[in-house]
């Protein structure tokens, strides 16, 4: 149990286009989902926290108008990178916290989405 | 924010125990200690977490110092599949939300 999927697993797009990445909790309901970004040979950087039915909370330095997050249901969160540029090329990873579990319990991570902007 | 410090890399041999240290000297009383690991081009995988007492599960053991300023992840018998970057993370309660803040982690290499 506790499987998180991401779609697509990789995407290549042209500069200036928008890309949507989906994160789904397959066998549990997730009250909170998190989005991370990871550049090569670096650690994960938390971008934002999204709670179902409410606006996402962005970390300092993350542009909310560029990285649109929607958490419309207890099993789906989406991240849209708007007007993507080559510097947005990165590995995007989501994680989810299971509904009903204490907040200090583990998060379940998706497999990641590799975005390349040409 | 409370931070963790880990060695950049460690190396061990297959079928031997591995002790991965982590320092978190500024930990607060409500911060949980989490360990995750990440294989190349994959999302992190939960390993173990604890607050004050030592913890065991099927993957590893977590030994927490009495003053909670350090902890050690113990892999009892490493296999080649345990080669990964291991992250020691404090599950921080910040402004009412709990979130994981990743440090640089330890890259563990397992020799056959």
Does the beta carbon of A108 lie under 8 angstroms from any beta carbon of chain B? Answer: yes
* pLDDT at B1 (0 to 100): 58
Which of A43, A49, A104 is nearest residue B32 as measured by Cβ atoms?
A: A104
Give yes or no for a contact between A30 and A75, defined as CB atoms under 8 angstroms apart: yes
Tell me whether residues B43 and A45 touch, CB distance under 8 A: no
Least confident of A69-83, A91-105, B14-28: A91-105
Burial tier of B90 (Cβ tally within 10 Å: 0-12, 13-18, 19+): buried
B contacts of A62 (beta carbons < 8 Å):
none
Express each pLDDT in B75-97 by its tens digit.
999 999 999 999 999 887 665 56
User: Among candidates A26, A27, A29, which has minimal Cα distance to A7?
Assistant: A26
Contact B44 A95 (CB under 8 A): yes
Give the model confidence (pLDDT) of B15-65 as tens digits.
999 999 999 998 888 889 999 999 988 999 999 999 999 999 999 999 999
- Nearest-CA distance from B14 to chain A in Å? 24
């Amino acid at each position: 149990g506790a499987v998180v999927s991401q779609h697509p697993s990789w995407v290549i797009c042209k500069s200036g286009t928008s890309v949507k990445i989906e994160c789904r909790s397959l066998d549990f309901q997730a009250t909170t989902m998190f989005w991370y970004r990871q550049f090569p040979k670096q650690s994960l950087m938390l971008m934002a926290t999204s709670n179902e039915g409410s606006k996402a909370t962005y970390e300092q330095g993350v542009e909310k108008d560029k990285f649109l997050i929607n958490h419309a249901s207890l099993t789906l969160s989406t991240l849209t990178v708007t007007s993507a540029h080559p510097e947005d090329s990165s590995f995007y990873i989501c994680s989810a916290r299971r509904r009903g579990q204490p907040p200090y319990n583990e998060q379940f991570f998706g497999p990641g989405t590799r975005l390349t902007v040409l | 924010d409370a931070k963790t410090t880990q060695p950049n890399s460690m190396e061990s041999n297959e079928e031997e125990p591995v002790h991965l240290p982590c320092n978190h000297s500024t930990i607060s009383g409500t911060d949980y200690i989490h360990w995750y690991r990440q294989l190349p081009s994959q999302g992190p995988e939960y390993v173990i977490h604890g607050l004050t007492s030592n913890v065991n599960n099927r993957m590893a053991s977590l030994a927490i110092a009495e003053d909670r300023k350090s902890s050690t992840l113990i892999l009892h018998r490493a296999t080649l599949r345990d080669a990964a970057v291991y992250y020691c993370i404090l599950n921080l309660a910040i402004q009412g939300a709990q979130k994981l803040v990743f440090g640089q982690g330890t890259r563990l290499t397992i020799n056959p």
